Structures are given as C-alpha cells and as structure tokens.
C-alpha cells in the first residue's frame, strides 16, 4: 500500500494508476466497507494449482528420469494448460481489472479500473448495489477523470480530492461518506478554484495543504487542476 | 516501482505467481514437446565440431523419436550410459531390427576419423535404438544455440540471468 509520502514519477502511467488503485481499499476500509477477496482468491488458487502440477512434474522428472515419468507427462501437461487457460480467462474476463470488491452499510460495490495507453486518465467502472440488495438492482457506471486531480505536479498522491471525486460520483460511497460529497457547479476551467474558496471546504483544504504540502511549499500552489 | 515490503499479501502472492507461471509455462511447453516427439530432450544444441560441415558448434537441432526404423545415413542423438552429454552423430551401419532382435546402430561423426566404438560405454560396441537413442534430427537452426554453450561454459551467467529475470518480474507492475 502506498501512502501520501511516496513520491512517484508523474509521467509514468503505471505509477499513477497503481498508486491510485492502492488508495481505493484504504479509503473504502476507512468507510467501514469490508473487502471481499473471493475473485482474487479463485485466481490465485487456479494459478498456484497449475504451478504445483508443473513443480511436481519437474521434481519427479529430475529425481526419476524420463522413462519413469513418461506416462504421467501427458496428463500433467494437459491439466496444466487447462488450468492456465482458466487462469487467463478469470484474469481477463471475470476479474477484468477489478481492484476492489466490498460490502458496507450502504451497499455492495465492485470497482474496476483501467487506463488507455499513454493517456493519463483514470477510467473506472463501478458496479454497485445500494442496500438493501433485495429491493435494488445492481447498477454500473463508468466514470473517468485525469490523474492530475489528485497528484501534485511533483508526484505526491493527495487523498482528499480523490476521495471527494469518488464520493461525489458513486452514490453508495457518497452515502457512506457525505462529508466528501462536493457539488460540481460548472464554471468551466475555474471550477476548482471556486470550489477551493467555498466556506464548506476551507477547513478541509487547509488541512490538505498542511499534510500534502509537507515536501515543499510550492506543490500546493501549483496544484490547481 | 514499489518495494516488496509495502505490498499486501495477495498482491505479493500475485506477483510471485506471475513469475512462477512464466517459468512453469516454459517448462510445460518443453514437456509437451517431449510428449509430442516422444523424446526426453526434443531440442538439443550441438556442442562439438565432430559433425562439421553438416553442423557447427551452437546449431540448434530438432529431434523426432517416433520412427524407430532408423536407416543408415540418418543423424541421431544418443546418450552414453554413465555420461549425461548427448552426442549427435551419423548412423553408418545397422544390425538386427528384423522380428525379435532389437535394432542396433553404429555411428560416426562426419568430421572424425574413426567410428564411435571408442565413445560408447566400456564393453559396448553398438547402440540399442530403443534404449540409447533419444531421436533423429529432423530440422535445425544454425547458431542460435550458442547462448547455451556460453551458459554451460560459464555457469555463473545462468544464475545471474535467472536472478535478474526473477527480480524484474516480481518488482514491476506494468
């Protein structure tokens, strides 16, 4: 897990995405969401079973030689590649970029993230079921925003704007964390400046500057996107 | 780039799994090829110059071990009992093979003056087709196997390569 003190290279899309991905479970945990690991565990089980088969074959081949292991080699190879295909299927079609799955008082949520090659925009697919699950159908929304929203120009992740963005865009996160819901009032490129100046946010922003601005005073001034 | 220490257990398990899958897939592809060709070692690298000018040191050979009726003139790869380096030589004579008697072969390197009787295990004056030969050569790529000659002559290169590969797979998340 990375925290606000880890500095990343702002031009590395992988760094931007991974750092942001790591911030999601932290944030959700702070909202008393319980993370559900089932899909990850299934993938790990498939993968490690395949590796175990291959490891066993390697060991017996090494100890006893080809003549002894020959009859077992074909079944082992077939089983390995079946498991390996299932693993890939699970990774690409079932998990499909999911970085968080969890459940809280306000509902269930699954968050999958991606980026397009060389474009520093965080693409997020959120599937959520507001509580109570019995009376609400699951909904899927796609939200996207530039990473500049929560990274300072010198590469520090700032949690507050990220949490505000998530809470404002995803209803069940907003319901769990009303203090982070901010309204977009739509005044073009100056929106953020105006938001920064509103009374409701002032204390938050100040705190934000105190904590995030630690490494250098300049960063806070430049963070206007 | 993130350190190993600040990863969650599942994340660490995933990274290790990626590395293990790379290695195990390579190994299982090799084993699959072994099954298909019926040879314990379907691809070998020529280590000596004894078959020049047909094969040079470093040539990569593809073997096939399903046609057991090997003819004179075929190039076979065989293991000598008690030595673990396979030898690539041409068949110059064959005995038996009809009915119950096992097919036996005499081989010689094109570039050698004498036949291989000297190379065989003591007391052995021919090869048993089924027991000793691991395949006939069906194709080759010149020179690409030279890397393995380097690796076997300088064993530390192997460890260095494996180490670097491992570190890269574990540490990078791109």
ipTM score here? 0.78
Residue A178, in any domain of the structure: yes
Structural domain boundaries enclosing A53: 39-95
Residues A128-140: tens digit of each pLDDT: 999 888 888 999 9
**Cβ–Cβ < 8 Å for B50, B110:** yes
The predicted structure's pLDDT at residue B31: 94
Separate counts of helices (H) and strands (E) for chain A: 8, 5
- Whether residue A46 is found in the same domain as residue A88: yes
- Whether residue A151 is found in the same domain as residue A89: no
Give the residue with greater pLDDT, B56 vs A218.
Answer: B56
- Whether residue A158 is found in the same domain as residue A187: yes
- Whether residue A195 is found in the same domain as residue A114: yes
Mark yes or no for CB contact A47/B20 under 8 Å: yes
Residues A157-216: tens digit of each pLDDT: 999 999 999 999 999 999 999 999 987 665 554 444 444 545 556 666 666 666 655 554
Q: Is B116 a catalytic residue?
A: yes
Domain boundary among A47, A75, A95: A95
Record the pTM: 0.75
- Whether residue A74 is found in the same domain as residue A122: no
- Whether residue A20 is found in the same domain as residue A51: no
- Whether residue A163 is found in the same domain as residue A111: yes
Calculate the CA B23 to chain-centre distance.
17
Contacts of B20 in chain A (CB under 8 A): 47-48, 51
- What is d(CA A194, CA A190) in angstroms, rounded to the nearest whole number? 6
Per-domain boundaries in chain B: 9-37+148-171, 43-143
Residues B39-98: tens digit of each pLDDT: 998 999 998 888 888 899 889 999 999 977 889 999 999 998 888 788 999 999 998 877
Q: What are the tokens at A72?
A: 């077992």
**Cβ–Cβ < 8 Å for B61, B139:** yes
Most A CBs within 10 A among B1, B3, B24, hence the mutation to make, goes to B24
Of B17, B25, B35, the CB nearest to A74: B35
**Cβ–Cβ < 8 Å for A49, B19:** no
Residue B31 touches chain A, beta carbons under 8 Å: yes
Structural fold of domain B43-143: Umud Fragment, subunit A (2.10.109)
Residue A136, in any domain of the structure: yes
Residue B173 touches chain A, beta carbons under 8 Å: yes
Mark yes or no for CB contact A14/B13 under 8 Å: no
The predicted structure's pLDDT at residue A115: 95
* Distance from the A177 Cα atom to the nearest Cα atom in chain B, whole angstroms: 25
- Whether residue A146 is found in the same domain as residue A51: no
Residue A204, in any domain of the structure: yes
3-state helix, strand, coil split of chain A in percent (to 5) is 55, 15, 25
Contacts of A84 in chain B (CB under 8 A): 21, 25, 28
**Cβ–Cβ < 8 Å for A127, A106:** no
- Whether residue A112 is found in the same domain as residue A213: yes
- Whether residue A45 is found in the same domain as residue A88: yes
Contacts of B10 in chain A (CB under 8 A): 37, 40-41, 44
Residue A86, in any domain of the structure: yes
How many CB atoms neighbour CB A173 within 10 A? 26
Residue A7, in any domain of the structure: no
Residue A1, in any domain of the structure: no
Q: Quote the strand ranges of chain A, DSSP E.
A: 34-35, 98-104, 107-114, 121-130, 139-146
Domain boundary among A95, A124, A141: A95
pLDDT of A29 higher than 60:
yes
Q: Report DSSP letters for B5-65, one per residue.
A: TTS-HHHHHHHHHHHHHHHHHHHHHHHHHHHHHT-SSSEEE--SSTTTTTS-TT-EEEEE-
Most B CBs within 10 A among A66, A71, A91, hence the mutation to make, goes to A66
Sign of torsion over alpha carbons B90, B96, B97, B100: negative
- Whether residue A74 is found in the same domain as residue A157: no
Residue A100, in any domain of the structure: no
Residue A171, in any domain of the structure: yes
Q: How many domains does chain A have?
A: 2
pLDDT of B7 higher than 90:
no
- Whether residue A116 is found in the same domain as residue A89: no
Mark yes or no for CB contact A51/B35 under 8 Å: no
């Amino acid at each position: 897990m990375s925290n606000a003190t880890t500095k990343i290279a702002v031009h590395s899309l992988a760094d931007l995405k991974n750092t942001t991905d790591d911030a999601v479970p932290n944030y959700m945990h702070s909202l008393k969401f319980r993370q559900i690991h089932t899909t990850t565990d299934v993938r790990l089980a498939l993968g490690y079973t395949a590796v175990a088969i291959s490891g066993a074959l390697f060991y017996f081949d090494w100890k006893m030689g080809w003549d002894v292991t020959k009859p077992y080699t074909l079944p082992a190879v077939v089983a390995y590649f079946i498991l390996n295909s299932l693993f890939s299927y699970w990774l690409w079609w079932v998990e499909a970029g999911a970085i968080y799955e969890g459940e809280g008082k306000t509902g269930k949520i699954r968050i999958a993230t991606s980026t397009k090659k060389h474009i520093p925009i965080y693409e997020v697919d959120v599937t959520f079921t507001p509580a109570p699950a019995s009376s609400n159908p699951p909904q899927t929304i796609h939200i996207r925003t530039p990473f500049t929203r929560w990274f300072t120009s010198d590469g520090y992740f700032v949690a507050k704007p990220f949490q505000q963005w998530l809470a404002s865009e995803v209803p069940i996160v907003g319901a769990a964390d009303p203090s982070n819901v901010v309204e977009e009032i739509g005044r073009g490129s100056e929106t953020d400046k105006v938001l920064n100046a509103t009374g409701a946010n002032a204390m938050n922003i100040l705190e934000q500057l105190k904590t995030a601005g630690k490494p250098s005073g300049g960063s806070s001034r430049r963070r206007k996107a | 780039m993130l350190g190993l220490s600040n990863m969650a257990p599942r994340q660490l398990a995933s990274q290790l799994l990626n590395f293990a899958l790379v290695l195990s897939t390579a190994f299982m592809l090799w084993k699959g090829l072994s099954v298909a060709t019926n040879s314990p070692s379907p691809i070998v690298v020529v280590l000596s110059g004894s078959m020049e000018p047909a094969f040079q040191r470093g040539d990569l050979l593809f073997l096939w071990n399903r046609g057991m009726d090997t003819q004179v003139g075929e190039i076979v790869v065989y293991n000598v009992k008690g030595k673990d380096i396979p030898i690539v030589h041409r068949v110059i004579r064959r005995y038996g093979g009809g009915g119950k008697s096992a097919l036996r072969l005499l081989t010689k390197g094109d570039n050698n003056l004498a036949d291989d009787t000297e190379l065989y295990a003591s007391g052995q004056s021919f090869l048993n087709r089924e027991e000793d030969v691991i395949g006939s050569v069906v194709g080759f790529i010149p020179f690409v196997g030279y890397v393995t000659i380097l690796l076997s002559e300088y064993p530390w290169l192997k460890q260095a390569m494996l180490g670097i590969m491992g570190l890269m797979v574990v540490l990078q998340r791109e």
